[in-house]
Amino acid sequence: MLESQEGGKARIRGKHFLALAPAVRAALTSRSRTFRQLVQDHAGAKPSEAGVDLPALLADLAVWRRISPWLPLDGACLFRSGMLAAFLGTLGHRTTWVFGVRTWPFQAHCWLQVEDVALDDEAERLCAFKPLLGV
């Protein structure tokens, strides 16, 4: 688990609480939206003009990992990745939503990444999947 430098725990700030509202809204609306609509919403998000600030992204991700077990929402990878994408997007981070499959036994999966860093899954697990779409 990623940890900040302050006492080994991710420091939760006001901006993180504000970013929870769009994440929860994304979670609640995702159940009534089509896959195409979810992908189009993510593809339409504004990219950061400053590029990737990986230390800030990882710090915000550590906060998400600290907060998310307390959220009353859970679901499949599509649902969880959508929530995390909304949370990080509100904080100014642009992520790539990757959709992949494996053939035997067949399984579909999705995850978020920035550059070559997987944000919401373990690299060892993702090696089994062939990416088909990155948005």
Task: For residue 73, give its domain range.
Answer: 14-134
Q: Where are the beta strands (DSSP E) in the chain?
A: 96-102, 107-114, 117-118, 130-134
Rounded Cα gap, residues 56 and 58, in angstroms: 5
For residue 3, being part of any structural domain is answered with: no
For residue 4, being part of any structural domain is answered with: no
For residue 115, being part of any structural domain is answered with: yes
Measured CA distances, 65 to 27, 69, 80, 132 (Å): 16, 7, 12, 27
**What's the first-to-final CA gap in the chain, in angstroms?**
25
Classified as helix, coil or strand, 121 is coil
For residue 8, being part of any structural domain is answered with: no
Instruction: Please tell me the predicted confidence (pLDDT) of residue 71.
Output: 82
Chain length of the chain = 135
Least confident residue range of 1-15, 53-67, 95-109: 1-15
pTM for the structure as a whole: 0.84
Instruction: Please tell me the predicted confidence (pLDDT) of residue 29.
Output: 86
In this structure, the number of other CB atoms found within 10 A of the CB of residue 84 comes to 23
Instruction: Please tell me the predicted confidence (pLDDT) of residue 3.
Output: 41
Number of domains in the chain: 1
For residue 45, being part of any structural domain is answered with: yes
For residue 60, being part of any structural domain is answered with: yes
pLDDT mean across residues, the chain: 86
For residue 1, being part of any structural domain is answered with: no
For residue 7, being part of any structural domain is answered with: no
**Confidence class for position 2, pLDDT limits 50, 70, 90:** very low
Q: Is the pLDDT of residue 5 over 60?
A: no
Q: Is the pLDDT of residue 110 over 70?
A: yes
Model pLDDT for residues 20-78, shown as the tens digit of each residue: 999 988 888 888 889 899 888 888 776 655 678 889 999 999 999 999 888 877 678 88
Per the CB < 8 A criterion, the answer to whether 87 and 79 are in contact is no
